[in-house]
Structure formats: C-alpha cells, structure tokens
Amino acid sequence: MPVSQTAWEPHRHEVIIIGAGVSGIYQIKRLTDLGIDAVVLEGDDDLGGTWYRNRYPGARFDSESYTYGYSWSREVLDEWSWKERFSGQPENLRYLNFVADKFDLRRHMRFDARVSSMDWDNDAREWTIKLDSGAVYISRFVIPSLGPLSMPTLPSYPGMGDFTGPSFHTYHWPEEPVSLEGKRVGVIGTGATGIQVIGELADKVGELKVFQRRPNWSSPLNNSEISGEEMVEIRNRYDEIFASCAESPGGFEHVPDWRGFSSLTEQERHAHYDFLYTQPGFAILVANFAEIFFDQAANDEISAYIANRIRDRVDDPVLAEKLIPKDHGFGMQRLPLETNYFEAYNRENVHLVDLSEAPIERITMSGIQTTAEHHDLDVIVYATGFDAITGGYDRINIRGIDGLLLGDVWADSPRTFVGVLAHGFPNMFMVAGPQSVSGSTNFPRAIETGVDWVTNLLIHARSGGCTRIEATAEAEQDWVDEVVRAHERMMFRHSKGWFTGYNSNVAGHHEGKIRYQAYFGGAPRYAAKVAELAAAGYPGVTLT
Ligand code: NAP
C-alpha cells in the first residue's frame, strides 16, 4: 500500500528526492544502498511518474523495452521478461513496481506529497521544502527528479468548462475504464501522444474527429511480441545491448549509417529507406544517414520518401496531403511512431478537422465550434502536450541565494551546468534536468548517467566534509555556450516543437524565442564530458 504523507511537523533528512518516476526510483536505490538518509516526495498517490499518469489507450514505449529498462541490476535483468518489443503502459508500470518492491524502496517514498516551494537557507546550508498539504521537510541536499514531461498543457479556448461530457488531457486519462464504444470522440493534437491514441481508438469508437493544427511526420513502430526464446537471447546480450546504446547519440541500439549519404546512389539509398521503414522503432530516424540531421538535400530526400509512404497508405489524396507536414522536414521535430495511424483515416468513422483551415473558436456544451462548423461530441481528449523540461521546475517556487526565483532566472531559457547544477541554487542536483542529454535521448539510458554522476558528486562532497556545492557562474556560462553551439549545428533549430527549442504548446514559449532546453551533442559526448569532470575533481563546482 502507498504510504500517505499526513504529518505536519518538519521532517529532516540529509537528502530529499522529488519525484518517484524512473529517475527517482533509481536515485533512492543508489542513496539508500550507501546508507544515506533520503526520502522521495511524490505528488501522486503512487510511484511510476510518466507510466503512472499516461494511461491513455495506446500508451506504450517507443524505445525498445529492453533498452528502456534499468541496466543497473543484474537480478532485475535476469528476472524480468519483456513481452513486447515496445511494451504498453500497464506492463511498464508493473515493471517499475516490480523494481521498487524487489528492493523495498516504497518505504523511502512519501506519496500525496506534492512540493509547492523550496527555499535555500544560505546560513544553515539547507533547503526548506514545503508541500501543498502544509507539511515541511528540511534537507541538506535536494534532488529534483521531475521528469521532462510532467507538466501537461491545456489550450485556453473559451468555453472549456461548458462541455457537459467527459473531457481530459491524455496525461490525466481516468484510472477507471472510460467507455468509448459508440461514442463521438474528439482528439485535439497530433503529437506522439495523439498519434498513439488515434491509432488505438479508431476502430473502438462510434466516430472519431481529429483536430489537427499542424501535421507531424510519423513512421511505423513495427511492434511485435517477444517470445520466451527471444527473451533468453536478449538477456544473454544485455551487456552488448547497453554498450551499443552507450555509443549511439540517441541512446538506442540503432546506430547511424556512416556510409555517407553521397557515397550511395539514389537507388541504393531508397533501398535502405525501404529496409528501415520495416524495422522496429526509431531505426528509420537514427539508423539512417546521419546527414538527414545536417544536410538539407539529405533531409529533403527522406522527407519526400516518407511523404510518398503516407500517400500510399491514405486512400484520399487530398486528405493525405493534409497529413504531410510542409513546415518542417522528417526528424526535425520529435518523431512520433505509429501503429495503424494513417490507415485510421481510411475508415468511414474517422474524420480529420484541419484547424489550419478553420481554427477552433470555442468549446461548447456539446462539442467544438470551429470557424467553419460545429462538431457534436460526447468526449473530448486533449492530446495537447506538455510544458516540457522546465515546466516541472516552474510549478515549484524554487528560491535560491537571496531569494532568487529559479523561474525568473530561466524566464527566457534555462541555464545550468551540465544539466545538473544551477548557479545561485546550491545543493540542488537535477536529474535529467534542462540542458542535460536526457530530453534528447532514450530517457533511462541518460538518467542512469545523471543519477550516477549526482551520486558520485555527493559521495565526493561528503567524504571531504563539504556541506555546500554550487556551480560557478563561469562554468555554467561555458555549458550554456556549449548547449547553444550543439543546437546551432542542427537543422531542426528552425522548427517548432518542445524537443527542438520552441514549444508551441505553451503560450509565449514560441514567439520567435528559442529555449535551449536540451543538449544535442549526443549521449556519448555528454557521458564523456561528465566523466571527465568527475575524474578531474569537479572543476567548475565550488565545494565548501
Ligand atoms: P506534442 O508532441 O507537443 O504534441 C502536442 C500536440 O497538440 C501538437 O499536435 C500541437 O499542435 C497540439 N496542440 C497544442 N496546443 C494546441 C491547441 N491549443 N490547439 C490545437 N492543437 C494544439 O505532445 P505529445 O504528443 O504529448 O508528446 C510529447 C512528448 O511526449 C513526445 O514528443 C515524446 O517525447 C513523449 N511521448 C512519448 C511516447 C513514448 O515514448 N511512447 C508517447 C507519447 C509521448 P502544434 O504542433 O500545432 O503545436
């Protein structure tokens, strides 16, 4: 049973971890193994983070399950069997519970413990952490493990409260089964989430209306079951699998094709695309020619190839054109992977509502009014994305030295030292924070790097009797410059999308301003950089 946080007296621990998702679970394991007094504060009533929340139909990994699972426990690797190459949300949540229960981690977690503020006391060298409930925690160190996609964003259409049927953001899909059979369902948003939910619901609802503002590129997930024998073979290859993930820029088993785009004929390249299109997961993107990210001609060619695949799969040619992005190339925003998404539009009960032609005016009691017509609906699903990467931090009032508000410092763009430390906010270590590599790679691979680095920094500081750890302003600026340089090298810097610097889901985040939210230098370069810092005794970090 989850433990609920009800006590009101201040609680003292050496380390507070915020968030019991994929990162928080591993972080508490590392700290308690070291005998460090630490607890996890989790806002929800149970653990799992992303996989606890996103219960919408069709929610599943798009990284291969066996590359997404933790690599740090041989026992877990030996005991857990993935059933599908891209495992679904219920199984993923079971997995995280299995890990937490196996190591008895739940007893270090406090649920229904949503943090509302964190204040740094520069004299006492402590953080005071307040919860929505009024409970107070005091700790020397705090490790926000908030996840990059934990702040869902709803649009602000007039009348949203007037709709009389069920309506919810996909992140808040109800725990109780929602009956959609025979219902008229509207889905707003065609990102990775919308594309999963639309593919899954198309043949299960009465009528499905997809409200699309901008189309997204998407390619097949190519999911399959993992047999018992295949799982044995995967288990035997785990060391090799994780080693190859560590060498790939995206933290995947797929590695870029370095043969050189121009060294092959167009026919040879097309044969390669044909092969990749049938391969599982992100192969079409990350096992493709690396030039597709840097060279316009290479990107134009793969974009034209994928556009033709969409034309082949959608019966109505006019509709097919509406589903093909014209404002960005393939892979220039975070690529959604799909199952039967394009075929869904060949069904009589599925209709695309193109908001670029007729925007939404308001939500009414009975549906959605666009500038062209009224759409009668029984259920509205908002698949409208997240205030990604920094949203979780903005939700907490984080005040550092002299009451400096982190949200103010990051108003235009976050500033960090290797995505972990922020100058002016001592003793706060972000796992998978802004400007780390985690936002741009197979998430757990990168968070393991982050958790291990934070843990080693703590061990180093404690062994030297240090009670205050802060990045210097110079080191932080150097890292921000490196993040900007890596971003500037990528062609996607011109496209919109949370992943690539403009977040069109958040008012004000996309008005010509780039937010440098993630480091795009690749996981191997990032891992090498932070390992180098640790080996050199953490230059750029003041330990007192
Ligand atoms: P997203 O990719 O940011 O997509 C949000 C969608 O909502 C976009 O189509 C956007 O349109 C639309 N939208 C936002 N505000 C709107 C408004 N006011 N009116 C109409 N449309 C609006 O968000 P997401 O689909 O939730 O995906 C976010 C990330 O979560 C993914 O990129 C991925 O990293 C992660 N994810 C992972 C998995 C997985 O691993 N399997 C699955 C799902 C999601 P515009 O494009 O015009 O802004």
Q: What are the backbone angles phi and psi of residue 382, rounded to the nearest 5°?
A: -95, 105
pLDDT confidence of residue 352: 98
pLDDT tens, position by position, 427-439: 999 998 999 998 7
Measured in Å, how far apart are the chain's first and last C-alpha atoms? 41
Band the pLDDT of 322: cuts 50, 70, 90: very high
Residue 501 has pLDDT above 90, yes or no: no
Q: Give how far Cα 429 sits from Cα of 17, 18, 37, 132, 140, Å.
A: 9, 11, 16, 22, 11
| Ligand 1 atom at minimal distance to the Cα of residue 149 | 30
Spell out the SS3 assignment of 245-265. HHHCCCCCCCCCECCCHHHCC
Contact 377, 165 (CB under 8 A): yes
| Closest listed residue to residue 139, CA positions, set 101, 110, 100 | 110
Q: Does the structure show a pLDDT above 90 at 513?
A: no
Helices marked H in 355-427? 391-395, 406-409
For 78-94, letters b (16+ CB in 10 Å) and e give: eebebeebbbbbeebbe
Compute the distance from residue 106 Cα to the ligand 1 centre, in Å. Answer: 32
Reported as a single tens digit per residue, the pLDDT across 16-51 is 999 999 999 999 999 999 999 999 999 999 999 999
CA 53/CA 65 separation, integer angstroms: 18
Determine which helix (DSSP H) or strand (DSSP E) holds 12, and give its type and residue range.
Answer: strand 11-18
User: Which residues are within 8 A (CB) of 79 and not within 5 positions of it... i.e. 6 or more apart?
Assistant: 102
Banded pLDDT at 509 (limits 50, 70, 90): low
Residue 500 pLDDT > 90: no
CA distance 541 to 423: 9
Span from the CA of 68 to the centroid of ligand 1 (angstroms): 21
Identity of the amino acid at 18: I
pLDDT at site 255: 85
Residues above pLDDT 70, as percent of the chain: 98
4 has pLDDT over 60: no
468 Cβ contact list (under 8 Å, min separation 6): 125, 426, 427, 542, 543, 544
What DSSP line would sit under 140-191, residue for residue? EEEEE---TT-SB-----TTTTT--S-EEEGGG--SSPPP-TT-EEEEE--S
- Ligand 1 centroid – CA 148 distance (Å): 13
Residues with CB under 6 A from ligand 1: 60-62, 149, 155, 188-194, 196, 213-214, 334, 355, 383-386, 498-499, 504-505
Q: Which protein residue has the closest C-alpha to ligand 1 atom 10?
A: 189
- Of residues 256 and 281, more confidence is placed in 281
Summarize pLDDT for 382-406 with one digit per residue, the tens.
999 999 999 999 999 999 999 999 9
- Mean pLDDT check: name the lowest of 73-77, 80-84, 250-254, 301-305: 250-254
Ligand 1, atom nearest to 86 Cα = 41
Span from the CA of 376 to the centroid of ligand 1 (angstroms):
23
The mean-pLDDT minimum among 2-11, 222-231, 361-370, 516-525 falls in 2-11
Please report the pLDDT score of residue 512 as a whole number: 67
Q: Whose CA is nearest to atom 25 of ligand 1?
A: 191
Whether residue 2 is predicted with pLDDT greater than 50 in this model: the reply is: no
Mutate to test the pocket of ligand 1, among 213, 326, 381, 438 (most ligand atoms within 8 A of CB): 213
Compute the mean pLDDT over every residue in the chain, rounded to the nearest whole number: 95
CATH of 11-151+388-543, one of 3.30.300.250, 3.30.565.10, 3.30.1330.60, 3.50.50.60: 3.50.50.60
Residues 6+ apart with CB under 8 A from 258: 290
Task: Give the global pTM.
Answer: 0.96
Pocket test for ligand 1, best of 92, 361, 384, 517 (most atoms within 8 A of CB): 384
3-state helix, strand, coil split of the chain in percent (to 5) is 35, 20, 45
Could you tell me if 7 and 428 are in contact, meaning their C-beta atoms sit under 8 angstroms apart?
Answer: no
Q: How far is CA 494 from CA 212, 303, 389, 449, 515, in A?
A: 21, 16, 19, 29, 12
Beta bridge partners of 367: 364, 376
Mean pLDDT of 321-346: 97
* Measured distance CA(153)–CA(20) in Å, rounded: 21
What b/e readout covers 16-53, taking b as 16+ CB neighbours within 10 angstroms? bbbbbbbbbbbbbbbbbeeebebbbbbbbebbbbbbbb
The domain locations on the chain are 11-151+388-543
- pLDDT above 70 for 105: yes
Q: What is the pLDDT confidence band of residue 511, given thresholds at 50, 70 and 90?
A: low
* DSSP for 262-303, written as a single string: GGS-HHHHHHHHHHHHTSSTTHHHHSSBGGGGT-HHHHHHHH
Checking if the pLDDT of 6 tops 70, the result is: no
pLDDT at 1 exceeding the cut of 50: no
- Per residue in 145-196, pLDDT (tens digit) is 999 999 999 999 999 999 999 999 999 999 998 999 999 999 999 999 999 9
What does the pLDDT look like over 70-97, one tens digit per residue? Answer: 999 999 999 999 999 999 999 999 999 9
Tell me the chain's radius of gyration from C-alpha atoms.
Answer: 23
Contacts of 382 (CB under 8 A, 6+ apart): 154, 155, 167, 168, 169, 170, 188, 189
Q: Which pLDDT tens digit goes with each residue over 514-529?
A: 889 999 999 999 999 9
Burial class of residue 399 (count of CB atoms within 10 Å of its CB; 0-12, 13-18, 19+): buried
